Structure 1
Amino acid sequence: MGRAKLFFKLLVYIVVWKFNDVAKEAQGMTMAGHYEARGANEHAHSKEPPCAVCPRNGVCVPHVQCPAHVRPGSSNPQCHLEGTRHVGVCCSTGRRHAGESDRKFRSSVHVDDMKTAHKQSREQLVEWLERADTLKDKHYAAINSSDPSYWHHLSVRTYDSRAQMLGRGALLNMFAAQELKARDAITAEEIELGFTEHTDGPFCPPKLLCPQEPSRYRSIGGGCNNQNNPDWGATNTGFERLLPPDYSDGIWAMRTSRSGLPLPSARAVSNALLLDVNHPSSTHNVMFMQFGQFIVRDISIGQVFALGDGNGISCCSGDGRILPKEFQHWACAPIVLDPGDIFYGQFGKQCINFVRTQLAPRSDCSLGYAKQMNGASHYLDMSHLYGNSEEKIVKLRAPGGVLSVFNDFGRDLPPLTKRKECLNMYEGTACFESGDNHGNQIISLTVLHTIWTREHNRIARALSKINPRWDEDKVFFESRRIMQAEYQHIIYNEWLPLLLGPRIMEIYGLLPSSGFSTLYHPGVDPSLTAEFSSAAMRFGHSTVDGQLKVVSPKHGGIYESISIPEVMFQPSRLRLKPFLDRMLIGMSWQPMQSVDPFITESLSRYMFHGGNPFGLDLAAINIQRGRDYGVRSYNEYRKLIGIEPLADFHQFAPNAAKRLSSVYVNPEDIDLWVGGLLEEPVEGGVIGPTFANIIADQFARLKNGDRYFYEFGTNINPGAFTPSQLAEIKKVTLSRIICHNSDGIELFEQSPNAFLRSDLPRNEPVRCDNPAIPAVDLSRFKEI
């Protein structure tokens, strides 16, 4: 009887959340009669009809692409987006948050103030480094390899020595900004609006050296893509912003409540709101979820500060308490746990380790608010397969233009690594190398690394036969160029439409063209935004099922169910001969979880648990990471995309309002990641309007700001495809990649749409040689 009551309560809870009035309003439905019906891209504050022509030479853009429209006193009338029926805003300020009224002449900082700031910043950096250096030999300062945080550190650490040098430079410039602000030499508003670009910081990053003649191939590391701004999108550069950060000191101190008090503990929010409830998608499968993580791993590595020897920083004591401040590294921001925490309290845990993200200097040497460093190139270039540096790509290559592999009794797997990156490293186990050093994080991710490694080698061998005069360098880089194009086409043609729906795809011009695209713009910075990386794209954590279903046609169904924590940094099952095929079949059939405020306990209690009875809470880490990045509150991004902010918790459904108000003091405090998960999905998509607009904006940047994007012709792309080659590229689907590169032991069929459940009508698996899964004709790549 007790179980029945519990089930009924959970069912009611799901229904209440599912029909959340606020989420309906965010899609354009009425909300208790308070607001008029409107779409998520219609300005909430304007009643005038859209302009036919924008004043002041303005351009009509989606709201999110004109952040100045939320500034007091801004004038951004509505308009119709070109070629569509959708409404945007007239913008004459571009992506700057500053409106026309903010543009003003500011006198230079006095030379004496600047000299003092330089001197103070250098002294403070020396003090911080000396303090960090004293911790290297302290047993409590480094994460123990038995701690769950050790494996999290492996997911966010860097092996690039340049990152440390650039990070120190970023600290110098940040200290100088703090000093100038303390001396009233610059104002908080000048820092927020980016009016410090001509204020020299103590550190200037080295300039990228680009070839005079553009290369046919995109660079390794993302540099030299944009001719006027060669650092845009490069490895170890900063995340950009949709809105200025909300740091409590304006520069780097973490966000506080609107009341001025500290925000609720990230774990308290997770514990109150993000429960473990099974809510499978009726359409999308685990492959869709896993490919999303595959994309993220390519473009975003928010690497954290580390000890001088590269070891992870510990902010918690061995008995589970927060280290006293005098023993903490300055990059510590531990997540506080309540002693009565329903889960962690039974183990005496009062602290989840959390280390802040490494900072990046601005390329123009200016000082200002902190920008977090991206350890990957920002472009969709498969850097997680090929690496972000010349040293890495050399290590991953093998003779003949192919990628190095581990030949496991006739089956090619990714090459083995000598780094201690897996939980089990005894003889016979496997731990694999990857371009980003993190391919072992979860076995379903390792599966994708495997099939794409094989795809490169399949293409390379075919090109060698077609073009016998090519040397191995040309074979390698031509194969890489084709691989990157296949990958980009699958993202924009298959994955994004299922994520965003047709309306958002149209608004942002994201669908592939019938031929070459003309959408490149040299003024578009493709760099990832902090909001995309630390919040919106983390919607995928809600879609994770706690179990991976391994399906075997030979055995008539599910062969085994594997708990996700058991295959984190433990990829050795791939050595079992039929396992790869069974995983691919299972990922195609098994539904992912829906995007909602529910997170599997595999991630919120047991992530990276190793031999411990507890692990990390990924939901709490996501919330804390958004605060680390200075991401503003959920309401600020509602306004940015053009919908009303929430004034009261009671605008949510009663159950949600009660839970939100139990942890947050004010609706203005709600974290972006939490608020985004509360929204109902946009039409034809799986995420709500706030996340949909942030993500669509980012993928528009990644397309329109990438000179080497696969759809651009010779007038833009130095390595453009011919029309016939581009037509072949546009045949590719993920199903074809799977068919080409599975083991063919148990997988002989594949659903035409690899991201939709294979048990859906009209998506039933067909033979791999079926015309419904077309193949790319590589003979079109014969050099004449």
Structure 2
Amino acid sequence: MHLLRVFLHIFMYVVVVCPISEVVCVSHRGLQEHAVNSVPDHHHHRTEEPCDACPRHGKCVPRVQCPAHLRHNSYNPLCHIGGQRGLVGVCCFTGSRHAAEADLAARSANSISAEDLKIAHNLSRKKLVEWLHHADKVLEGSSETVLNASSPSFAHHLSVMTYEQAAEKLGRGGLLNLFAAKELKARDAISDDELMLGLTDHADGPFCPPPPACPAAPPRYRSVGGECNNPAAPAWGAVHTAFERLLPPQYGDGIWSIRPSSQGQPLPSARVVSSNLVLDAAAPSATHNLMFMQLGQFIAHDTSAGVVFTIGNGSAISCCVGDGVDFQPPELIHWACAPVATTPDDPFYAQFGQRCLNLVRTQLAPASDCAVGYAKQMNGATHYLDLSHLYGNSPEKLSALRSGILLNTFNDYGRELPPLTQRKECMSAKDGAACFESGDNHGNQIISLTVLHTIWTREHNRIARVLARLNPAWTEDTVFYESRRLLQAQFQHVVYNEWLPLLLGPRITQKFGLSPSPGYSGAYDPHVNPSLTAEFSAAAMRFGHSVVDSKFVVPNAKSGDLYEAISIPEVMFQPSRMRLRPFLDRLIAGLIRQPMQTVDPFVTESLTRYLFHGGSPFGLDLASINVQRGRDYGLRSYNDYRRLVGLPPYADFRQFPPSTAHRLFAVYQSPEDIDLWIGGLLEEPVEGGVVGATFGNILADQFSRFKRGDRYFYENGPDVNPGAFTPSQLSEIKKVSLSRLLCDNRDGIELLHVAPNAFLRADLPGNEPVPCDSPLIPSMDLNRFREV
């Protein structure tokens, strides 16, 4: 009878629903996964004939953009994206919601009683008081509960902390709603499915963040903090809001605890995963250079800044005793600690007696609709491609970085560098040592990043000076914000026109509609939440750690001879070489010439043993941090994301290449336990790109969100964007390349020639360096920005 019902359903759908003029759509109902963890029938998916058009006003999207297609009883027939044969997606009726239509229809809006909510609220407040009291006791109990400023972990703390006081209040609100969810679950007032699928928005949380105050008329310029971009959802994309999810998280308790293995046991230590699977080997890219790697980090810092919990007055929490010789005793362990254990025979840390690698969990953000539910981590940056790490995330920060029409700079004997910082974050305290200020306070993390901060700071000031001359009637504010608006547009164009196609390859770029438009874009969709996904921030965008080389090869830009080779750890939070007059030109030339490493499970020991080592003989392990951070965020296993993007999951380690299979088997109990970051690095790159299909889809989805969910995206016309460029201005912006920016803002002491494509190796045929006035590196005509 069951088979008969399925047949009748398909028959009625084909005959009644699908128009005869369209290609037949075959329902997935009964063929979908019974849960996120089960295996889809991929052979059936390959043989279905996709629809040319979706029925019932469904939208044809890549699978990753319709997570409900994995749910039992979901209805998502295959289709041709944009009507183009070969670009196959699914018909989606639920958008980015995790719940399918059947789940939404069955939801009960009155499942939680007012009495249950009242009790949960009261207990939540008491629980928060208890946790904060425990944190105070921890701080008083031992001086070792605060990180030593000389430890490698303190430098990592500088990379993941925020100086914004608003984050602490919102973080406590996130905890209140978390405790309420725990209590409601304990009382059986909400189910695991309701938590997982986000069906608790009818349960008011004990803390509700105040909504942004938006002006009645839409402003010409995007806000500094990212708020009010979408009038219908003004908190979307704002600083200190939550990362979103492609899939429901996999927490041990469904709410916040670290996930167990598929067998219910603790997952292997992140350090064990790293030391066995993330090795050090050189595999230089045949095409891409280190500038490609560096812009990737620049993009990541602009859009993502996980904010960790702190103790006392913003101090760094130490989860380990003696900077790593052991774990803190139970009475002194902070509740935000998630340290990584090393083994007694660790191939590197054992010689230093290190048993504990410090790691503090990311602060939580309350849902903008006050709902209780599973933990969502807080983003300390705006979620847009808006150069917030240059301009800051708050009006106060912007004001401190600005001087009239210009961004503040340090005049180093006639050369503009970013302004010097007053913070004690330079690892070198020698006379003349310099660390620089930036919008996100992380511009000194590595000297190549400082180079890009310098280039973009100079570009703002270059544009501002020209616009002020062209428009003498403009106020200082107008000149500054017009320069900022134009710089943001240049940045977005470089990302979408130059960087993304090299990352994703032509097929994924086309599938997600990421190429720049001939004129104005019609991609804006007010229903698209542009906020970063946890999977993008904590895993996929961290592909870049695999492509870092162990050293910078710095040439003499005039002669091409080797000037110096610098070990990466020696220029982390140590950017003083920027004060050497020819160094900026030389490092730019080196970044363009030197190949990056390929995306693979090989990461230089500079990052897995000596990260932020300073004066210590050992540093941190970035691979361990990545694995543990993914678990902190509740990321599901690698196999679950393969299912999401339409790839078959691995059922057996023997499906991997022999050498990889052996190492995986030695670490994980099951293929269902493989961490997303690890699995993503194991994939072969897509054609024309550098990442595999799983990371490729996760990354493409996020850049699609940036484009479709940002009202101020540079290609949007005046019907969408209050600060839209004119067609002629947009045409000029689309001439911009990173090579042009480098030419316009180099020192010009030694760097006289630049490769036309700044992200490809300068020794590739057809990409040989040319003079900066070459027509191969066109300039933008700023006369188009003279106000008539």
Task: Give TM-score scaled by structure 2 length.
Answer: 0.93
SS at the partner of 1:451? helix
Residue pair 1:635, 1:645 contacting (<8 A) in 2 also: yes
1:676 shift after superposition: 0.3
Contact 1:41 1:87 in 2 (8 A): no
SS at match of 1:374: coil
In structure 1, the partner of 2:147 is 143
Say if 1:751 and 1:765, in contact at 8 Å, map to a contact too: yes
Q: Secondary structure at the match of 2:321?
A: coil
Aligned residue type for 1:76: N
CA deviation after TM superposition for structure 1 residue 554, in Å? 3.5
1:271-670 matches, within 5 Å, as 271-318=275-322, 320-399=325-404, 401-670=405-674
Aligned match of 1:125: 128
1:22-37 correspondence to structure 2 within 5 Å:
none
* Helix, strand or coil at the partner of 1:559: strand
Map 1:74-89 onto structure 2 (within 5 A). 74-85=74-85, 86-89=87-90
Q: RCO greater where, 1 or 2, for CA within 8 Å and sep 6 or more? A: 1
* Distance in 2 (alpha carbons) for counterparts of 1:580 and 1:42: 52
Task: Give, as a single letter, the amino acid of the residue that structure 1 aligns with 2:54.
Answer: C
Aligned match of 2:755: 751
| Per-residue deviation, 1:320 | 1.5
Structure 2 letter corresponding to 1:82: G
2:388 partner amino acid: S
Structure 1: distance between partners of 2:344 and 2:326: 10
Give the C-alpha shift of residue 56 in structure 1.
Answer: 3.1
Q: Secondary structure at the match of 2:426?
A: coil
Match of 2:51 in 1: 51
Task: Kindly provide the amino acid, as one letter, of the partner of residue 169 in structure 2.
Answer: M
Deviation track 1:497-527 (CA, whole Å, cap 9, x = no partner) reads 0000000000000000000001100000000
Q: Kindly state the Cα deviation for residue 55 of structure 1 after the two structures are TM-superposed.
A: 2.9
SS of the residue aligned with 1:371? coil
Once residues 660 and 430 of structure 2 are traced to their aligned partners in structure 1, the CA distance between those partners, rounded to angstroms, is 48
Letter paired with 2:346: D
Q: What is the DSSP-based 3-state SS (H/G/I as helix, E as strand, rest coil) of the residue aligned with 2:47?
A: coil
1:156-193 Cα offsets, whole Å, 9 max, x none, are: 00100000000000000000000010010111111111
Q: Is this contact kept in 2: 1:425–1:431, CA < 8 A? A: no
- Could you report, residue by residue, the CA deviation over 1:710-766 in whole angstroms, capped at 9, with x for unpaired residues? 000100000000010000000000000000000000001000000000010000000
Q: Is the 8 A contact 2:53 2:83 kept in 1?
A: no
- Match of 2:145, SS? coil
Shift of 1:556: 3.7
Q: Give, in angstroms, the shift of residue 43 of structure 1.
A: 8.2
**1:71: which partner in 2?**
71
Aligned to 2:31: none
Runs (4 or more) in structure 1 with deviation over 6 Å come to: 40-44
CA distance in 2, matches of 1:182, 1:501: 48
Partner in structure 1 of residue 681 of structure 2 = 677
Query: In the aligned structure 1, how far is the partner of 2:44 from the partner of 2:785?
Result: 51
Task: Name 1:13's counterpart in structure 2.
Answer: none
C-alpha contact 1:205 1:361 (8 A) present in aligned 2: yes
Give the deviation of 1:83 after TM superposition: 4.1
CA distance in 1, matches of 2:137, 2:394: 31
Would the aligned equivalents of 2:157 and 2:316 in 1 still touch at CA under 8 Å?
yes
Q: Secondary structure at the match of 1:145?
A: coil
Counterparts in 2 of 1:45 and 1:326: CA distance versus 1, 3 Å:
farther
**Shift of residue 425 of structure 1?**
3.3
Deviations 1:403-428 (A, max 9, x none): 00000000000000101011123431
Contact 1:748–1:767, Cα closer than 8 Å, also in 2: yes
Q: Match for residue 737 of structure 1?
A: 741
- The alpha carbon displacement at 1:379 in A equals 0.4
- Asked if structure 2 preserves the Cα contact closer than 8 Å seen for 1:46 and 1:77, the reply is no
- Worse-superposed segment, 533-542 or 128-137: 128-137
Deviations 1:552-597 (A, max 9, x none): 1345422100000000000000000000000000000000000001
Report if the CA contact (8 A) 2:42-2:648 is conserved. Answer: no
Structure 2: distance between partners of 1:468 and 1:41: 66
Q: Distance in 2 between matches of 1:89 and 1:338?
A: 46
Tell me if the contact between 2:446 and 2:572 (Cα under 8 Å) persists in the aligned partners.
yes
Task: Point out the more displaced range, 141-150 or 420-429.
Answer: 420-429
CA shift at 1:536, angstroms? 0.3
C-alpha distance in structure 2 between counterparts of 1:535 and 1:258, whole Å: 20
> Take 2:732 and 2:83, find their aligned partners in 1: how far apart are those partners?
28
| Residue identity in the other structure for 2:752 | F
Aligned mates of 2:41, 2:267 — CA distance in 1: 30
Structure 2 contact 251–259 (Cα < 8 Å) conserved: yes
CA drift at 1:111: 1.5
Query: Deviations along 1:41-96, whole A, 9 cap, x unmatched?
Result: 98874532112332333211100011011112222111111142211011111111
Deviation at 1:308, TM superposition (A): 2.2
- Find the counterpart in structure 2 of residue 25 from structure 1: none
Residue pair 1:315, 1:332 contacting (<8 A) in 2 also:
yes
Q: What is the aligned-residue identity percentage?
A: 65
The Cα of 1:471 is off from its aligned counterpart by 1.2
Aligned to 1:190: 194
Q: For 2:554, what is the secondary structure of its paired residue?
A: strand
**Could you tell me whether the CA contact under 8 Å between 2:222 and 2:229 is conserved in 1?**
yes
1:212 aligns with 216
Is the 8 Å Cα contact of residues 42 and 88 (structure 1) preserved in structure 2? Answer: no
> SS at 1:289's partner residue?
helix
Provide the C-alpha distance between the structure 2 equivalents of 1:603 and 1:590, rounded to a whole number of angstroms.
18
Q: Which residue of 1 aligns with 2:261?
A: 257
Q: Aligned partners of 1:650, 1:623: CA distance in 2, in Å?
A: 23
Query: Is 2:66–2:95's contact at 8 Å kept on the other side of the alignment?
Result: yes
SS class of match (2:90): strand
Q: Which amino acid aligns with 1:195?
A: L
**What's the RMSD between the two structures over aligned residues?**
1.2
User: Which residue matches 2:702?
Assistant: 698
Provide the residue aligned with 1:111 in structure 2. 114
User: C-alpha offsets along residues 417-447 of structure 1, whole Å, 9 cap, x if unaligned?
Assistant: 1010111234311110000000000000000
Q: Which amino acid aligns with 1:565?
A: P
Q: Cα offset for 1:150?
A: 0.3
Amino acid in the other structure paired with 1:132? A
CA contact (8 A) 1:520 1:705 kept: yes
Q: Is the partner of 2:143 in helix, strand or coil? A: coil
Contact 1:589 1:759 survives alignment (8 Å): yes
Q: Which residue of structure 1 lines up, in the alignment, with residue 14 of structure 2?
A: none
Secondary structure class of the residue paired with 2:82: coil
Q: Gapped runs of 5+ residues in structure 1?
A: 1-39
Give the whole-Å Cα distance in 1 for the aligned partners of 2:241 and 2:509.
28
Report the AA paired with residue 335 of structure 1: V
The 3-state SS of whatever aligns with 1:419 is coil
TM-score, length-normalised on structure 1?
A: 0.94
In 2, Cα distance between equivalents of 1:106 and 1:126: 31
Contact 2:467–2:786, Cα closer than 8 Å, also in 1: yes
Q: 1:402 to 1:282 in 2, by over 3 A?
A: same
